[in-house]
Amino acid sequence: MSSKDMKDTDIKDIDTENEDSKEIDAKDFKDVKERLAATRRFFINFSVSAFLLALCGWFLYPVIKFLIPPAQNSIDPNILSIPIAQIPCGKSMITKFRGHPVIIINKDGEFRCLSAVCTHLGCIVKWDSKNEELFCPCHMAKYDINGNVKSGPAPKPLFALKANAVNDQIIIEEA
């Protein structure tokens, strides 16, 4: 074999190798592209599913809450009893009494129960144990522990309910 023939054969081999490697590269590139597309598809499907699930929850939660009646702590609907242990000294609890939000406050072992609905525009008031007063987070109306207006735009006091400690229960009744 002449040296020219040798060179031609070598060049052909190199060309064949290059074509093979191009094919392999193209195949690998196609695989990577497909995997990326699958990952992107999975991510989009997952995001859309999570969004739809959250949307369903957002719509269904009020419906389910409306359909399931709140748990009653006592058999008599005119009396609400709450275990004292649930409201430690200085703390408060917001619950419902005959469908109306009320706040029960434990001030040094004495219990108070007031309407928790601000008389201004109906926001739910909170107990500030440091200043021993109730405040409305909406427009900062303040009430004393008996429900009387101290400051802010509230036009009327919060109405009070009877709250007595009996054994290990706080009994709430209409005043």
Per CB under 6 A, residues contacting ligand FES are 118, 120-121, 123, 136, 138-139, 141, 152-154
CB of 110 to ligand FES, least distance (A): 25
DSSP label at 129?
Answer: T
74 beta partners: none
The nearer residue to ligand FES, 160 or 171, going by C-beta atoms, is 160
Based on the number of CB atoms within 10 Å of its own CB, is 102 exposed (0-12), middle (13-18) or buried (19 or more)? buried
CB of 142 to ligand FES, least distance (A): 9
- Smallest separation, CB 101 to ligand FES (Å): 13
The distance from CA 120 to its chain's CA centroid, rounded to whole angstroms, is: 26
Spatial contact of 160 and 143, defined as CB atoms under 8 Å apart: no
CA 98 and chain centroid, separation? 26
Of the pair 55, 121, the CB lying nearest ligand FES is at 121
User: For strand 100-107 and strand 110-115, is the pairing parallel, antiparallel, or unpaired?
Assistant: antiparallel
Q: Dihedral, CA atoms, 55, 61, 66, 69, nearest 10 degrees?
A: 170
CB closer to ligand FES, 84 vs 160: 160
Least separation in angstroms between CB 143 and ligand FES: 10
Q: Which is nearer to ligand FES, 111 or 135 (CB)?
A: 135
| In the complex, minimum distance from the CB of residue 135 to ligand FES, in angstroms, rounded to a whole number | 9
Q: How far is the CB of 86 from ligand FES (least distance, A)?
A: 26
Q: What are phi and psi of 125, to 5 degrees?
A: -80, 160
Cβ atoms of 116 and 94 closer than 8 Å: yes
For ligand FES, the closer CB: 41 or 139: 139
CB of 47 or CB of 151, closer to ligand FES:
151
